[in-house]
């Protein structure tokens, strides 16, 4: 176009050119990535490997005494860890049951044409439910056998026994070190036997633990009667006193 003063100006293209940074012709939509959750068995194995087994081993290291309230607190911790181990298998049972329900629905009401999915096998899925329940039951039985008595003692609390006498205190040499065999008999004739490591008695003698000192003195003086506070099922003594 010519200007008013006769001078020509270059033509200007008013069209907006597409930027090379944002191509339009070959643009592809971004598909969000779906992160699949860990399978139920992987979560269970992780919980057992990194929580249950290390915690159980740590409690075993800390459990050095047969008596005192601390010994019972450790048995309570074992109950909690055993309960966690049982609960860790519940996701496997849930996953197996959900798989069975989905396969059963797909077998009763097949998917419409055009949709592809693995063939439903409700019978196999049902066997998976049964197997997971069997494993859960076995784990529960093992946990109860190892910690059931402590759980019942936790529920009922300690009981008091008066007139308890020490009827035996014999040193024994074993392959894993020296032990001391102690037997305590109450007025009803019930005998409770304990095999304590010699270093356990020596350690509490140096510390002056009243519970251990009272029982050892009763064993060293025949006929001495003492009172004890004891958890009946596990036999853990948490207090002792002279009459």
Sheet containing 225-230, strands listed edge to edge, beginning at the edge strand earlier in sequence: 191-197, 177-185, 159-174, 225-230, 237-242
Number of other CB atoms surrounding residue 111 within 10 Å: 10
Reading the block at residue 44, the tokens are 């269970």
- Give the range with max mean pLDDT: 31-40, 111-120, 195-204: 195-204
Tokens of 157: 């609390």
- Whole-number percent of the chain with pLDDT over 90: 57
Q: Is the Cβ–Cβ distance between 94 and 125 less than 8 Å?
A: no
pLDDT of residue 119: 66
CA atoms of 110 and 120, how far apart (whole Å): 9
The reported pLDDT for the residue numbered 112 is 60
Neighbouring C-beta atoms of residue 10, cutoff 10 Å: 6
Measured CA to CA, the distance from residue 164 to residue 225 in angstroms comes to 5
pTM of the model: 0.74
Beta-carbon contacts of residue 133 (< 8 Å; ≥ 6 apart): 93
194's tokens: 């304990």
* Block residue for tokens 């860990």: 38
pLDDT the model gives residue 155: 95
What confidence tens digit (pLDDT) does each residue in 92-103 have?
A: 999 989 988 988
pLDDT at 175: 87
Mean per-residue pLDDT, 169-198: 92
Three-class secondary structure of residue 92 per DSSP: helix
Residues in the chain: 243
Token pair for 51? 């929580």
pLDDT per position as a tens digit, 12-53: 455 545 544 445 555 555 545 544 556 777 888 888 889 999
Give the pLDDT confidence of 50-105 residue by residue, as tens digits.
Answer: 999 999 999 988 888 889 999 999 999 999 999 999 999 999 999 989 988 988 88
In this prediction, residue 224 carries a pLDDT of 92
């Amino acid at each position: 176009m010519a200007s008013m003063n006769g001078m020509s100006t270059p033509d200007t293209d008013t069209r907006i050119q597409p930027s090379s940074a944002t191509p339009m012709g070959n643009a592809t939509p971004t598909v969000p990535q779906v992160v699949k959750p860990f399978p139920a068995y992987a979560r269970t194995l992780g919980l057992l490997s990194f929580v249950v087994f290390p915690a159980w081993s740590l409690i075993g290291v800390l459990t050095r005494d047969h008596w005192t309230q601390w010994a019972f607190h450790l048995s309570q911790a074992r109950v909690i860890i055993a309960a966690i181990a049982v609960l860790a298998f519940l996701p496997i049972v849930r996953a197996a049951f959900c798989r069975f329900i989905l396969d059963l629905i797909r077998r009763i009401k097949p998917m419409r044409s055009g949709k592809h999915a693995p063939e439903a096998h409700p019978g196999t899925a049902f066997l998976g439910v049964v197997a997971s329940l069997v494993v859960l039951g076995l784990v529960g039985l093992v946990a109860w056998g190892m910690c059931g008595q402590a759980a019942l003692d936790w529920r009922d609390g300690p009981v008091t026994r008066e007139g308890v006498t020490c009827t035996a205190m014999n040193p024994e040499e074993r392959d894993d070190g020296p032990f001391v065999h102690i037997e305590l008999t109450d007025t009803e004739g019930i005998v409770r036997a304990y095999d304590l490591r010699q270093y356990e008695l020596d350690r509490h003698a140096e510390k002056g633990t009243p519970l251990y000192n009272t029982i050892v003195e009763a064993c060293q003086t025949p006929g001495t009667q003492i009172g004890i506070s004891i958890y009946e099922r596990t036999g853990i003594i948490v207090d002792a006193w002279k009459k």
